[in-house]
Amino acid sequence: MKILFPTKNYSHGQKNYLNLHFRNRLGVAAGLDKNGDYVDVLDSLGFGFIELGTTTPRQQSGNEKPRVFRYIHQEAVVNRLGFNNKGVDYLVSKIKNKKYDAVIGVNIGANKESTNDQRIEDYVFCFEKVYKYCDYVTVNISSPNTPELRKLHNPDELEKIFKRINEIKTINQTDIPVFLKISPDEGEETILKIVNIYETLKINGLIVSNTSIDKDILEGCSHDGGISGKPLFKKSNQLLKKIHELDKDIFLVGVGGVFTKEDYENKITLGASLVQIYTGFIFEGPAIVKKILSR
């Protein structure tokens, strides 16, 4: 039996971006609902937008367990999940006939066993499957838990992905926004190259940022994987600030270490139009939405 909760009304922060109406600027980051199983519940909590995934062309089990580690005192999580999900067809089956008040995005990735140009084809395959049933799509090249995935930050590889996606958009006469989720661990030269090709590749927004593998930000870290939560806040903010200073016209979604209303507002001050949470939701629970959005 499906239980629906009364939708919380946090609409005083309504915004229109990229021809989408956001009832507020706070969203759920990808990774919390990989398969679209909990959209009804997340929508009822009052988020302005929900990003599902990461989804891949084929179902995969992800990396070996244990693969998620909480650092309670630092309010951090280290994960090495590895894009565990039920595959893009399953996700589409969960969202294709449903209506939500929140904007719905789908985060797409490549299967672990895919290499070289097959990875490009994985993104294209997923995009073709999902674009009709969501409001925006995010290309995820920044997970640290799929070997060599972050090499796709290379402008030549990005050009391959977005050339194909833009061809599909043109053929099907759709203007669905496509975002790029980037790593906080990339060097300044790489970030500058991405900023320089942002408009040429018709990227509609950057999500800043994914998790970090920099163990220096988490005292006592004894696990490999992506670090999220409070230790990521400063590093993700530094990247957000840098990109906004390089080009104030780039549409930015800030994510990384948001636990409080002050954290949320800090991201917006640094240039984010929208803000996402993940680890804050894990530690604080559903009450975090009210804590951040209530006036």
- The string of DSSP codes covering 131-142 is GGGSSEEEEE--
The CATH number covering residue 72 comes to 3.20.20.70
Write the pLDDT tens digit of every residue in 178-194. Answer: 999 999 999 999 999 99
In a domain, 3, yes or no: no
In a domain, 272, yes or no: yes
Q: What is the span of the domain harbouring residue 148?
A: 15-293
Q: How far apart are CA 6 and CA 14, in angstroms?
A: 19
Write the pLDDT tens digit of every residue in 237-294. Answer: 999 999 999 999 999 999 999 999 999 999 999 999 999 999 999 999 999 999 999 9
| Count of structural domains, the chain | 1
Active-site residue identified among 114, 143, 209, 228: 143
Write the pLDDT tens digit of every residue in 221-236. Answer: 999 999 999 999 999 9
Exposure class string for 48-64: b at 16+ Cβ within 10 A, else e: bbbbbbbbbbeebebbe
In a domain, 264, yes or no: yes
Answer yes or no: is pLDDT of 157 > 80.
yes
For the chain, percent of residues with pLDDT exceeding 70? 97
Write the pLDDT tens digit of every residue in 41-78. Answer: 999 999 999 999 999 999 999 999 999 999 999 999 99
In a domain, 7, yes or no: no
Helix (H, G, I), strand (E, B) or coil at 234: helix
- Computed over every residue of the chain, the mean pLDDT equals 95
| Whole-model pTM over 0.85 | yes
- The set of long-range contacts for 157-160, using a CB threshold of 8 Å and a minimum separation of 24, is 157/120, 158/194, 158/197, 158/201, 159/197, 159/201, 160/117, 160/120
Q: How far is CA 158 from CA 86, 141, 151, 152, 284, in A?
A: 26, 9, 10, 6, 36
Residue 11 a catalytic site member: no
In a domain, 9, yes or no: no
In a domain, 4, yes or no: no
Kindly report whether the peptide bond that precedes residue 209 is cis, defined as omega within 30 degrees of 0. Answer: yes
Q: Work out the pLDDT band at 7, boundaries 50, 70, 90.
A: low
Write the pLDDT tens digit of every residue in 76-94. Answer: 999 999 999 999 999 999 9
pLDDT of residue 3: 43
- Cβ of 148: how many Cβ atoms within 10 Å? 10
Q: How far apart are CA 47 and CA 10, in angstroms?
A: 8
Answer yes or no: is pLDDT of 4 > 70.
no
Q: Are strands 68-71 and 49-55 parallel, antiparallel or unpaired?
A: unpaired
pLDDT of residue 9: 72
